Amino acid sequence: MGKPRLRDPLRRPPFRRLALSYAVNEMGDWIGIVALSLLVFERTGSAMATAALFIGVGFLPALMTPFFVARMERPPPRVALPAIYAAEAAAFGALALLAGHFSLAAIVAIAAVDGALALTGKTLTRAITAVMLEPHGELRTGNAVLNIAFTGGAAIGPALAGAAVAALGVQAALLLDAASFYVIACIVLTARPLPQAEPEEGNLREQVRAGIGYIRRNPTLRRLLAAEAGALVFFSLVIPIEVIYVKQTLDAGDTGYGLMLGSWGAGMVLGSIAFAALRRASLPALLFFSTVAIGTCYFGLAAAQTLALACAASVLGGAGNGIQWVAVVSAVQELTSPGMQARVVGTLESSASATPGIGFVLGGLIASQWSPRAAFVVAGAGVMIIVLVSALVLGRNWPLDRAEERPGNDDAAEEEIMVELIPAEALPTPDRRF
């Protein structure tokens, strides 16, 4: 049986709805992030206040998401997803009101709740996709389609937000964001019934503990999640200071901020297309080189003297981002049983939201004490160190770990994709172990 074509998952009407909702969801998230970061920086003029916003959007939701996922994986997805998106719309409506009555504490609190809802929605979408497509051998291809939808929203959202804030103001941009989530709710609500994985029995606390125990019992999965968590600290170190970097270091204004984020999003689109085209490439090679591309981008941003050069570096970093994340998600899903998809992917999403909080604080401190350029240098160096350390820790023991995790499946090592951060072809000798 040949490799699934990119259009094969799109022949399933429910998946088409999910992909469309995923794109609108990501676009709406970016509109909210850009509008709120501009609002907070303009009202406070503080890098640490901007970092506090991103901690609220990232770290705090990670603490709530496992419980949200355990609760929302039980109702039918056709009901659960629209309810989540409608709640997000209400949250952004409240944030729009706060734009005229500024309160940093209130904005961070509401943004944290919205962040937990957003992570829950993305987690359920990924879990539904796995249940729908994995039996047909189309999971990796479906993930490529979702990644294109995701990166398309990431490319359009920042540019749209920058233009909306510049032309209409922050409040109008946030109301536009609220409307986008109502659109998503309608898209999913009018879809055909969506497949649902049967979660394990137990109360809320038992469900959360079961997910954690499953990860502990699977060393390959545990190592993959740990490696990505470490990388995410440095990936996200520069996020809170990008607005300061563009507006003060490069003197490019609100529109320039939107253009640089849009350039990153455009790179993500290119990366997601590349991931879809490289369906025969190994996940080890894709993970290794895409992570290196992100580190190289940060060094380029540290050296850039003009907005054009910063945007060019952002395209490279976005391309790495567009490959790296979907490769990690694909690996995690392939290592996880159907009944645990929502909770394990939820753990990955929570990690992707929580660990950047460390990076946000570091980025704010470095930018405050030295400069935004220094923050980019630290981020680039950190990413490269994580690549090297991950190669040493993960290395070539992964196939043995997978065999232990799936007893009774003698063909698993041959039929499924081996996951590691460094491609085997790059090893100097066949006997070398990392």
Residue 318 and residue 295: Cα distance in Å, rounded? 11
| Confidence (pLDDT) at 314 | 94
Rounded mean pLDDT of the chain?
78
Q: What is the pLDDT of residue 2?
A: 53
Average pLDDT (63-79) is: 79
| pLDDT of residue 416 exceeding 70 | no
Two structure tokens written together for 432? 């070398």
**In the predicted model, is pLDDT for residue 313 greater than 90?**
yes
Token pair of 167, please?
Answer: 């032309």
User: By the 8 A CB rule, do 351 and 229 touch?
Assistant: yes
- Within 13 Å, how many C-alpha atoms sit on residue 77's CB side? 28
Domains of the chain, start order: 9-426 (1.20.1250.20)
Tell me the per-residue pLDDT of 222-240, one tens digit each, with 9 for 90 and over. Answer: 888 888 888 999 998 888 7
What six digits make up the tokens of 344? 């394990």
Q: What is the pLDDT of residues 89-131, one digit of tens each?
A: 999 999 999 888 888 889 988 988 888 888 888 888 888 888 8
Q: What pLDDT score was predicted for residue 434?
A: 30
Q: What is the pLDDT of residues 150-178, one digit of tens each?
A: 777 766 777 777 788 888 888 888 888 89
Q: DSSP readout, 202-251?
A: S-HHHHHHHHHHHHHH-HHHHHHHHHHHHHHHHHSTTGGGHHHIIIIIS-
* Region 384-399 average pLDDT: 70
Tell me what pLDDT residue 394 has.
63
Distance CA(375)–CA(233), nearest Å, equals: 12
More confident residue, 411 or 43: 43
Quick one: what percent of the chain has pLDDT higher than 70?
85
Please compute the mean of the pLDDT values over residues 192-205 and round it to a whole number.
64
Q: What is the per-residue pLDDT for 319?
A: 92
Read off the pLDDT band of 414 (50, 70, 90).
very low
